[in-house]
Structure 1
Amino acid sequence: MDNLMSVVVFYHSIEIKKVIQEILRNKYQSILYCDVNTNQEQFIAFMTDKSQPVLFIYAFEKTEEAIEFNEIFVELNKNKKIHSDKYLSLLICCREHREAAYFECSKGRFYSYETFRPVYDMNRIRLSITQMGDLLTSQDKVNSYQQDKKAVIKKLQSVSQQLHEVETSLTDEKGIQHNLLTELISEVDQLCKGDMTESAEVKVQVEKIKPRVENFKAHNQKYFNEIGSKVRAAKPSFKKKMPLVLVVDDQNVMLKIITTILKPKGFDVEVATNGAEALNKLKNCQPELVLLDIDMPVMDGIQTLKAIKEINELSQVPIIMLTSNTDKESFIECRELGAIDYIVKPTNAETLLKKILAVI
């Protein structure tokens, strides 16, 4: 039984609800079924735990019914912020409405869709739910690892700062003791050079002191040097963070070419094959730059550009459009929507790097 994720099923028909119940049976412990009569407070109470990712399933005969329910839900969340950003939405509708379902997924309203009439392919629906659940929980684990990593790095940075202060203190003390011992040796020299004929024995004793003091000075400086070296060796070293570039293109060849160009130049690269996947990845990372293809299935570059610019945390991330089309009107539209530049495919390494370095 999967306890890492909550599932909310929106539905109208009892028949459809029974189908979904059979698919989810003994799979997820935390499930809420919501129809038009479900009390909002019941739904809000179910969503109290914002630490778990949520899979929303919209199971309706018609896509329009799912859209209507989704708009109510979006408005409720806008007013009361009932869930976190760790969620995905699956639309399940009749086969005759699949074109409308595809269109809504391409706009980003739902992550994906499945059909259940006239044929009930329950295994296919079950597979989609399982895959989306795996994606959600894996993202949640990545977020947890990233938080742990940040905490460890913060602790190491604190330790590094403390060791730096110890190193500074040792250097200061080394200088102070060096000066004091130098002064002591100088005073012993003066005693040796003075008129001590009345006490030859005292003079002999004083002359014996000087090499001992010099040995102590040498030992003292060696000790401080060794301690300083150990402190420097114990200080954690932090590699400079590589700039992250998110490349969004439906052509795997183009993704591979751009990755091959950027990684040897010190860039970290994330890839996505459509706009919906890109938006999902942007929930977990904030790149220094997005390279965004215009022509893509599911959710094209123009729609993705608009969506990114509407997210406050990402609105200032520079976006360079990728396109095989030389239509200037498309470039103008992208610039008006917030893109900073464009690159015509296919491109060469020199042009790509020049454009990227100009904005990073």
Structure 2
Amino acid sequence: MAALKITLTPPLEAENALETSLREAFESQITSLRPPFSLAIPSPDQYTLLNRAILHGVLTEPQFAKTHIKHLHAIVTDGYATFVTLLLGLVNHLYPKLLASVKTQLLWLTDQTVCVLGIGYDAVLISLLRQIVGADCSDGNLRLCSKLVTLFLEHWGRLLEDSPHVLSFALYTFLRVLTDHCRGGSVEKSETLKRLEIHLCVKIMREEFHLCLKIGRDFIRLLQDLVHVPEFRAMLKDIVFNPCVFNIVGFQFKDVAQIYSTRTSSRYSLLRINPDMETQLRFLLTSIKLGHQKRHQVWFAKKFLNEPDKEFVIIDIVRFICCAHHPPNEIIQSDIVPRWALIGWLLTSCRRNNVVANVKLALFR
């Protein structure tokens, strides 16, 4: 039986190695994936092969997904580490190319790994947060946002106890994404999502304010961008004028200076740059000589900044360049494109005055 494809690959593009390994494992283990399952304990190699086959089976055979996941539960011996690692690789390297039906199954699988607290599930959630494209109100992007918001709300208690840092990352992401969704107006398809996102963010801020402090001073930047939303305007007022409302047993919030004194970690800046964009930016800043970057910039703009609203992504790109990319001395002293040159080009790509102002603000850590 030939395995179904999981990605939409152009005819002349080579198949991804991970996809190939999953497909070949599925084809070789197809008989083992149908009940009755073997009661024998698989060898390490066989175990890895079965994990790959089951992952491919869940993604391409939705009708057998529950059977496959029960099979996984029956054979797991490493706390789901092997399976979650495969899932993480899929999200990091193939998510934008996945077929819509496969993305649906992948998000269902993510929910299942959270349910069993599979080792490394937090990395999968963070990677999925990075796949949310800024300034993009397409159906696929909104669907990803909706699924993740719902997942965080449904597994609130579990995540709060086991991986509270994931909620901090989620707060940063959805506060940033909300600026895009609010700017899009009250389109019916996004209005429900906006309410869900606001509910999640307010829940984190009101009930677990200490997670906001982990973000640092960028938390205030994000709130200021959303000051037109009543819930966040009230939140900002409480932070400035009534900080004691956030005090709980074991935690005391003194004043807004407590937030401003904390530098935002580069891990948060990375959240708004998807892996593909990060790769291209790092390539520009580590391999291209100054004076030879124009065609690379044109290509980058066509791929990532090709729509009017995409210029809002420039704010996140500049934050990434300033906070998350630190070239070594060898690069700084060479003729490789310096960060200031790339930022200067990005500034010239901005057409709105408010975007220019926010990009300039993004320069400061």
Query: Higher helix share goes to which structure?
Result: 2
Length-normalised TM-score, structure 1: 0.29
Larger radius of gyration, structure 1 or 2? Answer: 1
Q: Relative to total residues, which structure has the larger strand share, 1 or 2?
A: 1
Tell me the TM-score normalized by structure 2: 0.29
Q: Which has the higher contact order (CA 8 A, sep 6+)?
A: 2
